[in-house]
Amino acid sequence: MKALVTVTHPRKNSLTHAVMNRFVEGLKQNNHEVDLLDLDHDGFNPLYTAEDEKDWINPDKIYAPEVRKEMDRIAAADTLVFVFPLWQYSVPSMLKGYLDKVWNMGLFGKMGNKKVLWICLTGGDQEHMSKYNREGTLKHYLNVLVSGYARVQESRVELLYDTLSESEEHIASLLERAYQLGRE
Ligand SMILES: Cc1cc2nc3c(=O)[nH]c(=O)nc-3n(C[C@H](O)[C@H](O)[C@H](O)COP(=O)(O)O)c2cc1C
């Protein structure tokens, strides 16, 4: 299986990057092929311009080379994995820009056989995330609305809670969970 792993965080020494690294180690342990996209450090420009707009009449519109390159990477992958911190109960703007630009109409009809996994690091603990249906709302947004809009049929969200904890044991358990998810 080939996985396109997309990570979003401005700091390479972040927990988000550590989680991504452990996840990738798990993938490699099970001999999966990995293509890594680091949105913040690979120079992806999330700013949506008029050039990026959908052409409602022409489904074969040719998008900008940067967008086409990312669409080709998606086409070559079986599974798309996103590793990101929860910001304002949503994805960071960098990832939102990627989704706006790349998961566009040009991909419609080509995503049905892809699996998508969203690995989201939340500052809030499990109790905080269950209150006001925060967790349910986020899962509905990512699995049903975002993945559904792109016609993805298999989408799953995994939350890694309480990421600001000072407990080394807890942080180690999050990294172990990331490793096991990669192995899965
Ligand atoms: C701009 C910003 C917004 C955040 N919004 C939320 C939020 O809505 N809910 C939450 O539980 N944590 C929130 N947090 C905490 C992050 O989820 C937390 O910092 C992250 O999971 C820790 O991983 P990191 O060390 O890789 O950044 C926010 C943090 C930042 C910087």
pLDDT tens digits, one per residue of 2-37: 999 999 999 999 999 999 999 999 999 999 999 999
Q: Is the CB of 92 under 6 A from ligand 1?
A: no
4-28 burial code (b ≥16 CB/10 A, e <16): bbbbbbeeeebbbbbbbbbbbebbe
CA of 133 to the centre of ligand 1 (A): 18
* Alpha-carbon span 159 to 145, nearest angstrom: 18
CB 5 within 8 A of CB 34: yes
Q: Is the pLDDT of residue 108 over 80?
A: no
- Report the atom number in ligand 1 closest to the C-alpha of 124: 11
* Alpha-carbon span 36 to 46, nearest angstrom: 17
What CATH homologous superfamily does 2-183 map to? Flavodoxin domain (3.40.50.360)
Listed in sequence order, the residues at least 6 apart from 41 whose beta carbon sits closer than 8 Å to its beta carbon are: 12
Residues 80-104: tens digit of each pLDDT: 999 999 999 999 999 999 999 999 8
Instruction: Report the chain's mean pLDDT, rounded to a whole number.
Output: 95
* Alpha-carbon span 112 to 154, nearest angstrom: 8
Tokens of 79: 């599974």
Q: Is the CB of 174 under 6 A from ligand 1?
A: no
